[in-house]
């Protein structure tokens, strides 16, 4: 009798191992423990006919067997009800000693873009609009509208790339082409900058390139004077090169401003003492500026009696070269990955 119980237990445990799902488990449970005809139930019934002493001994074993089978069934039930993700999680482990993946190479901005974005942030903090203008431009916006008529010598100093069979179209030579576009679109008062690519037909060398970047600015309002202009330019200079930086404005002719100036800042390398970078002058030329010529305001449909304004143009490419100590302008448009990787 005793061995019958033990055998039943072994068989039950074996059968349980093979169980794969809840349905199998349920039928196995029925087969062993079922009230009417379970194998264990039947065996238990046989105990009734035994004498008291044997009943006591075997009964104990029978109870133990029953308990063991029940707990094995219970355990299997729990295993089967764990969800798939719990199972795969239990199997997973992280080997913290494994070598990491090779570093993921991230892209980054071109030096021109870094300088441009920095200035865009500064100017938008002062309430300037940031405008775009077309690179393929009409002769009108690039020259005529900014007070450079057809026979003006300034046209020769800014030779560009013209479009075959379209003599009135060219690659813009300066971002000043956006001045009148902006006035016509937004009117006065106006506060805007417009950074972007410019093109000139140059014989290239370390200081000249056919493609480069400028950042134009225009401020128009009532009672705007030269002092406002100098104030804005000083803010930019100090932002770029530190609070001790000074701005020097000296007269220079540009057809679209009157008076016009050429703007320099204290050389950040020698602090004004004179060095190779500033060609011993102590100053670095970085911009052109001036009070907007009434002809240009009129061209932009701005009432030149009521409004005044100033305009400025930074050499963005030049700023990037100064910032990073780049001594050959041609590197910037070269697309040379060895150069670009350094920024």
Name the residues that contact ligand PHE, by CB under 6 A. 174, 176, 254, 257, 260, 288-290, 311-313
Name which of 177, 240, 211, 161 is nearest 317 in CA terms.
Answer: 211
HSE, side-chain direction, 13 A CA sphere, residue 295? 12
- Measured CA to CA in angstroms, residue 159 lies from 113, 127, 153 at distances of 25, 34, 11
CB nearer to ligand PHE: give 24 or 258: 258
CB nearer to ligand PHE: give 147 or 245: 147
Residue 150 CA to residue 195 CA, distance in Å, equals 26
| Cβ 160 to ligand PHE shortest distance, Å | 12
CB nearer to ligand PHE: give 29 or 299: 299
CB nearer to ligand PHE: give 5 or 143: 143
- Measured CA to CA in angstroms, residue 106 lies from 103, 109, 341 at distances of 9, 10, 10
| Cβ 126 to ligand PHE shortest distance, Å | 17
CB nearer to ligand PHE: give 67 or 208: 208
| Cβ 267 to ligand PHE shortest distance, Å | 21
- Measured CA to CA in angstroms, residue 143 lies from 90, 100, 149, 159, 311 at distances of 74, 58, 7, 11, 15
CB nearer to ligand PHE: give 307 or 312: 312
| Cβ 294 to ligand PHE shortest distance, Å | 15
| Cβ 114 to ligand PHE shortest distance, Å | 22
**Residue 41 CB: number of other CB atoms within 10 A?**
14
State which residue has the least CB distance to ligand PHE. 313
Residue 204 CA to residue 138 CA, distance in Å, equals 25
| Cβ 158 to ligand PHE shortest distance, Å | 7
194, 176 Cβ separation under 8 angstroms = no
């Amino acid at each position: 009798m005793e061995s019958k119980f033990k055998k039943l237990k072994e068989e039950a445990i074996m059968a349980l191992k093979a169980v794969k799902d809840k349905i199998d488990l349920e039928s196995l449970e029925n087969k062993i423990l079922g009230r009417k005809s379970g194998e264990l139930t039947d065996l238990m019934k046989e105990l009734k006919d035994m004498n008291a002493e044997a009943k006591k001994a075997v009964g104990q074993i029978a109870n133990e067997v029953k308990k063991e089978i029940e707990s094995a069934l219970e355990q299997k039930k729990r295993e089967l009800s764990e969800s798939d993700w719990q199972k795969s999680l239990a199997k997973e482990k992280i080997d913290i000693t494994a070598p990491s993946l090779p570093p993921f190479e991230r892209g980054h901005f071109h030096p021109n873009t870094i300088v441009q974005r920095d200035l865009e942030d500064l100017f938008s903090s002062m309430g300037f609009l940031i405008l775009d203008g077309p690179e393929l431009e009409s002769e009108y916006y690039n020259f005529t509208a900014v007070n450079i008529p057809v026979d003006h010598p300034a046209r020769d100093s800014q030779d560009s790339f013209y479009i075959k069979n379209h003599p009135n179209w060219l690659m813009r030579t300066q971002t000043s082409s956006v001045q009148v576009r902006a006035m016509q679109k937004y009117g006065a008062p106006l506060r805007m900058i417009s950074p972007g690519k410019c093109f000139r037909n140059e014989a290239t060398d370390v200081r000249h390139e056919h493609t480069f970047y400028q950042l134009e600015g225009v401020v128009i309002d009532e009672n705007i004077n030269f002092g406002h202009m100098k104030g804005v330019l000083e803010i930019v200079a100090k932002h770029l090169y530190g609070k001790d930086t000074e701005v020097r404005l000296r007269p220079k002719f540009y057809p679209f401003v009157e008076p016009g100036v050429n703007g320099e800042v204290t050389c950040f390398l020698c602090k004004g003492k004179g060095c190779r970078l500033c060609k011993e002058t102590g100053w670095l030329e970085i911009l052109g500026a001036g009070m907007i010529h009434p002809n240009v305001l009129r061209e932009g449909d701005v009432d030149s009696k009521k409004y005044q304004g100033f305009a400025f143009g930074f050499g963005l490419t030049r700023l990037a070269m100064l910032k990073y100590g780049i001594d050959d302008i041609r590197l910037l448009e070269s697309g040379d990955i060895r150069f670009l990787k350094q920024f």
